[in-house]
Amino acid sequence: MSSVITTVEGLAALLAAQKSAFTAEGAVDAAERRRRIQQVIDLLVAWHKPLAAAMDEDFGHRPQGFSLMNDVLGSLASLKHARDHLEDWMQPQERQPFAPYDQLGAKARVLYQPKGSVGIIGTWNAPLFTLLSPLAYVLAAGNRAILKPSEIAPRTAEVLAAACAEHLDPLLVGVAVGGVEMAEGMTRQPFDHLVFTGSTAVGKAVMRNAADNLVPVTLELGGKSPTIVSRSADLATAAFRIAAAKAANGGQLCVNPDLIYVPREQLEAFLAELKGAYASLFPQVQGNPDVVAVVNARHLARVEGLVEDAIAAGVRVESLPEASAADPQDRRRPLRVVVDPPADRRIQQEEIFGPAMVLLPYDAIDAVLADINARPRPLALYWFGTDEAEQQRVLEHTLSGGVTINDAMMHAAMQDAPFGGIGASGMGHYHGREGFLEFSHARTVFEAGSYDPRREWGLLPPYGEHFLAA
Ligand code: NAD
């Protein structure tokens, strides 16, 4: 059987074959799980250069050093963490049987068993990471998988499929290559679990389709990652770290800062620091080998459309660095900073996911919290400052998938802690023990003792009157 699938019928056949192999084999031990994860690590080590070159090609320009750091080392971090901890995570847990059986020789335990075959649908923006990081935890839990790379990064999909064909048994990990039809077809299959990374709108469609087969879903979606610069923050540090985080992947990460709340009286000083910070990273953007391009003309037009919609309302927009005549063929673009747009502008409502951000001046921190809480729950929230009471207030009065304090995005890079969204930014987790649990079935096993007290204690028919007297 080929590990590269190009039709929905082929996908259904591979899934059926994986399920049969899973049932025949039973739950595999820790050593076998480690061996399987190691095969994926070996694949990445052998193929990292062609994969980085493919990502460069797909984006029009993506520094290979960035791809190695973000997608290859990011995935390796997940694979190694899962490999090194899975034996601990998979240990059965002893539990207390209920009375009186606990006194009568009964025992109970919870087994963390694999679910079977997991479908993993990835995005173009981190085309390896969104497939291989969840795969680490899927394999740690003893499952099999079929990966569906994004059609917007077709060269990466092709190279990954070739790498998987060389290193992995399709009955363990297969790759389904194709567009929306394949992705949609995947959500209609009776997988034992689906992991979807992508937009909130498509996430809803995925969940609707999965419901027909009662397939549990992990949804890793997007959002507007609000970023609060407290009055207690060091402005230069906050500006530099926000600039560096926004620059990552050309602003095309699900956890890039998007809405930045700045004390009103510090707005100009913050903007000046941001300009200096951005210039220190990128003196110019077009032709700069360190800048990640916007992935395609459609996404560039979408991001420019958000900025133009604000400009049409007379909103101030700064360009970092200053815009020069743009070469339309080069999609490396300056960061557009949109200052205080009205709430009804599209850039206030839609995830930007590109080289633009919004600065929102504020007077009172409670108004910031009210604004955040009036919006869909975000994937990430950032707070910069030293005022611990304010930090506590922000943590207690908001919700988000995760939080980084005095920086941005760092929590998402952790392996020893869950990563996931809440509300419109998703559900479920991968990374850490929680990632292992997400792809395991917690199965309770009650083992009866030899002495059965039920007849003697009146717990079997005829029940008589004694419960009425109790
Ligand atoms: P997208 O939703 O357009 O596509 C994602 C995947 O869904 C692709 O593989 C695509 O083929 C597939 N797809 C498209 N239509 C489908 C359908 N009807 N049914 C099933 N699958 C379908 O997202 P994108 O543009 O690739 O990625 C950008 C979005 O992903 C942003 O919102 C970003 O925030 C989010 N994202 C989230 C995370 C996270 O970990 N939470 C990580 C990266 C990106």
Q: Hey, whose CA ends up nearest to atom 40 of ligand 1? A: 220
One-letter identity of residue 213: N
Q: Ligand 1 center to residue 199 CA distance, Å?
A: 5
Q: Is the CB of 430 under 6 A from ligand 1?
A: no
CB-based burial, 249-269: b 16+ in 10 Å, e otherwise: bbbbbbbbbbbbbbbeebbee
Quote the pLDDT of residue 202. Answer: 97
Question: What is the mean pLDDT of each successive set of 10 residues along the chain, which is 470 residues long?
Answer: 89 98 96 98 98 98 98 98 98 95 93 98 98 98 98 98 98 97 97 98 98 98 97 98 98 98 98 97 93 97 98 97 81 97 97 98 98 98 98 98 98 97 97 98 96 86 76
359 close to 262: Cβ distance less than 8 angstroms: yes
**Long-range residue pairs from 417-423, CB within 8 A, at least 24 positions apart, any chain:** 419/220, 420/218, 420/220, 421/219, 421/220, 421/221, 421/223, 421/377, 421/378, 421/379, 422/377, 423/376, 423/377, 423/399
Q: Is the CB of 199 under 6 A from ligand 1?
A: yes
Quote the pLDDT of residue 189. Answer: 98
Quote the pLDDT of residue 470. Answer: 63
One-letter identity of residue 184: E
Q: Ligand 1 center to residue 130 CA distance, Å?
A: 10
Give the strands of the sheet with 335-339, arranged side by side: 316-320, 335-339, 356-362, 259-263, 226-229, 380-384, 402-405
Q: Is the CB of 130 under 6 A from ligand 1?
A: yes
Q: Is the CB of 117 under 6 A from ligand 1?
A: no
183 close to 108: Cβ distance less than 8 angstroms: no
Active site residue ranges: 220
Give the integer Cα–Cα distance in Å for 110 and 120: 26
Pairing of strands 316-320, 335-339: antiparallel
| Ligand 1 atom index nearest CA of 426 | 41
Residues 252, 414, 143, 213, Cα dihedral to 10° = -50
Candidate of 177, 197, 255, 296 to mutate for ligand 1, largest count of ligand atoms within 8 Å of Cβ: 197
Q: Is the CB of 156 under 6 A from ligand 1?
A: no
Quote the pLDDT of residue 463. Answer: 84
132 close to 40: Cβ distance less than 8 angstroms: yes
Quote the pLDDT of residue 324. Answer: 72
Spatial neighbors of 221 by CB under 8 A, at least 6 apart, are 197, 198, 199, 200, 203, 254, 379, 421, 424, 425, 426
Does residue 462 have a cis peptide bond before it, meaning omega lies within 30 degrees of 0? yes
Q: Ligand 1 center to residue 256 CA distance, Å?
A: 16
Quote the pLDDT of residue 322. Answer: 81
Give the integer Cα–Cα distance in Å for 259 and 265: 18
Q: Is the CB of 202 under 6 A from ligand 1?
A: yes
Q: Is the CB of 187 under 6 A from ligand 1?
A: yes
Residues 62, 223, 261, 430, Cα dihedral to 10° = -80
Q: What is the 3-state secondary structure (H, E, C) of 225-252?
A: CEEEECCCCCHHHHHHHHHHHHHHHHHC
| Ligand 1 atom index nearest CA of 202 | 2
Candidate of 11, 59, 123 to mutate for ligand 1, largest count of ligand atoms within 8 Å of Cβ: 123
